[in-house]
Chain A
Amino acid sequence: MSTMLEVKNVTKQYGDGEARVVALDGVSLSAGKGDFIAIMGPSGCGKSTLLNVIGGLERLSTGEVELEGERIDNLDENQFVGTRRGKIAYVFQQFHLLSSLTAIENVMLPLVLAGNNTDHRDEAMQILKKVGLEKRAAHRPSQLSGGEQQRVAIARALVSNPSLLLADEPTGNMDQKTSKEILEMFTRLNQEGQTIIIVTHDPAVARLAGRIVFLQDGRVVEDRD
């Protein structure tokens, strides 16, 4: 199995001197294509920071991150835009949809920003069908339930056909039933070959993943299949 992601001895510190906080303290991790990895650990263990560093939302202090054999940790903001357009996509706990746009427009957003001049409505509609929301395409986020919003967010992440899907507590705000639906969706996507890294503190969520990485105080304390 080819290597998708290589995290090499990554550290991340905030602040200086007395106020210095070490969020990541030498994390190494490797993920193959098609992996479904859950990152677990108590609050403040650095699991979200790790996801942000992998996704380029935050800069690391030392170490390296390679995606499909290429270093991405040293890219500047503008260069990283290319990585966000198609290689890495996010699903957030708070969904982070644009409230002024409808569901389908939110899904189209990454394609619009990537800037090819075709009409993206059909592509976006296909993905919305995949997450079972084709009937809600014209609704705004405020008219959708939490589960529906998260499905729109997943559709938005999938529309650019990313190599790596990062999800930060994607079911954190949901009741059990909705949570189950979302997780089933992740499982199905993984079965279709999608590489997924999911951050969670919920063991039930983690159980679905093929591999669980435990973080504590910014270090990997356990990595098991």
Chain B
Amino acid sequence: MKLYEMVAKDAMARKRRLLFAAFGIVIGIMTVVGILTVAKSGRAQIYEQLERYGPNLTILPAVSSVDMRIGNLSLGQLGVGENYIPEEKVPVVREITDRLIRESLEIKTDAPIATVSPELYATTQVRGTSVMVVGMDAEAQKAIKSWWMIMEGAYPTGQNEALVGHTAASILGIKVGDTVDIGDDKATIAGVLEETGSIDDAQLFIPLRMVQKAVNKEGLVSSISIRALCTACPVSVIADEINATVTGVRAVAVKQVAETEMGMVERINTFLLAIAGITLLVGLFGVINTMMASVNERIRDIGIMRAVGASRNQILTMFVYEALVIGILGGLAGFVFGTLLAFIIGPLIFKGAAISFVPSYLGVSLGLSIIVAILASIYPAYRATKVKVADSLRSL
């Protein structure tokens, strides 16, 4: 028989007490694992919701000397001038972006991942008034500007359909169903946008081909907006890759948006982990309490062991063994219950999020649990070594 076998036998005789001590840890670990699992599974959902903030990567012609466009701002007077990107760069840029995302997320599919929206800006005469028209790929534009709301009519789908900003519609006096002349072509207004508070309000959105033809810029675009959502690959990495391999363009990561997104996710995680930490701390005190009670109810046993030759270190070791048992039990149960908890509360927090089982958190929960159990046992175990043998054995 070894010392640990003795502790094990003793522990078996006091199962309920041990389980009670482990319970405090289980609650704490359960919260940590539950939150981590929900946070991990919910992250994709958070990013999806953050798409509303617009593009996070903009491709501009390399020759332009000033930042022509930051998000939706400062576009009004810019002389798009002679600076254009050849349209054949669009699939190249898409290929690079998708490849980097695929590589970092280890996705096998060949389907397009990032939203790539080519745009051509031009100022043209519509009904006698000079207006900024935006040539666009309707589908990509819709995905990028997910906050757009249609006030009247519908989002354009047909080849000759156009969308008009709120302000532009009232200045030009055009309604859904009207036709406007764009160069030699006619575009039908399919819908009017609700006010966005951005430059979009004063613009007219028309199929790219039509604008290219009207302003004689066939095969050219002014910029490419990209929405590349990828937690593991910062957009600046994608931007660097594009700048290094594609000539004639300059890729700019819209840092403000990217950083806001990251910061938001980080803050949510920090907040949740703080809650988990507090729960664990409460659990720690619970275990200290139970361990103290354990020491008190075993004062006689400690005295007996001392009387038959146990050293203080051996008494300390016994309590450390006990803490290890509590830690392992607490870590295992905490992981199991935490995962179950995630499956229950996850869908409530992130509607419809698919919660996945994260085996690597087993190591995290075992480690944390053992650390907490040992920490909680230090003081009680120290007290146990200070038990006065004669006092503990005195018959009452």
Contacts and interface: CB of A to CB of B under 8 A. Distances in A.
B389 to A, nearest CB: 5
B307 A96 contact: yes
A94 B309 CA distance: 18
B1 interface: yes
Interface stretch (A109-117, A200-208, A217-225): A109-117
B10 interface: yes
Contact of B304 (A98, A114, A121): A98
A101 B11 CA distance: 11
Nearest to A83: B309
Given A96-B300, A100-B12, A112 B1 contact: yes
B312 interface: yes
Given A96-B300, A96-B393, A90 B6 contact: no
B311 A78 contact: yes
Interface in B289-335: 300-301, 303-312, 314
Contacts of B309: 81, 84-86, 110, 113-114, 160
B321 to A, nearest CB: 14
A105 B9 contact: yes
A89 B6 CA distance: 21
A210 B389 CA distance: 30
Highest count of chain A CB atoms <10 Å: which of B307, B308, B310, B312: B308
A98 B301 contact: yes
B308 A110 contact: yes
B16 interface: no
Given A52-B390, A78-B312, A92-B393, A112 B307 contact: no
Contact of A156 (B1, B12, B13, B308): B308
A22 B361 CA distance: 62
A109 B305 contact: yes
A120 B6 CA distance: 13
A128 to B, nearest CB: 14
Contact of A84 (B13, B308, B390, B395): B308
Contacts of A90: 307-308
Interface residues of A, number: 31
B345 interface: no
B3 interface: yes
B108 interface: no
B6 A112 contact: yes
B308 A113 contact: yes
A96 B299 CA distance: 12
B6 A101 contact: yes
A59 to B, nearest CB: 9
Contact of A98 (B3, B10, B389): B10
Contacts of A121: 1
A81 B310 contact: yes
A16 interface: no
Contacts of B3: 112-113
A89 B3 CA distance: 20
Given A57-B390, A92-B393, A94-B395, A100 B308 contact: no
A94 B307 CA distance: 14
Interface string B1-41: 11100100110111000000000000000000000000000
Interface in A55-89: 57-58, 77-78, 81, 84-86, 89
Contacts of A84: 306-309
Interface string A152-190: 000010001000000000000000000000000000000
A108 B1 contact: yes
B307 A77 contact: no
A112 B305 CA distance: 11
A101 B6 CA distance: 8
A57 B307 contact: yes
A93 interface: yes
Given A52-B390, A57-B307, A101 B9 contact: yes
Give the one of A58, A105, A113, A121 with max B CB within 10 A: A113
Contacts of B314: 113
A99 interface: yes
B12 A109 contact: no
A105 B314 CA distance: 17
Contacts of B306: 84
Interface in A107-155: 108-110, 112-114, 120-121
A93 B10 CA distance: 23
B282 to A, nearest CB: 30
Contacts of B395: 93-94
A89 B1 CA distance: 21
A58 B308 contact: no
Nearest to A159: B308
A6 to B, nearest CB: 21
B304 A96 contact: yes
Nearest to B12: A100
Nearest to A124: B1
Chain A to chain B: the 4 pairs with minimum beta-carbon distance, closest first: A100-B13, A57-B390, A85-B309, A113-B309
17 contacts: A57-B307, A57-B389, A57-B393, A78-B311, A84-B306, A84-B308, A96-B304, A97-B304, A98-B305, A100-B10, A100-B13, A100-B14, A101-B9, A101-B10, A108-B1, A109-B6, A113-B3
Given A58-B390, A105-B9, A113-B309, 11 more contacts: A81-B311, A84-B306, A84-B309, A90-B307, A96-B300, A98-B301, A99-B13, A100-B12, A101-B6, A101-B9, A113-B314
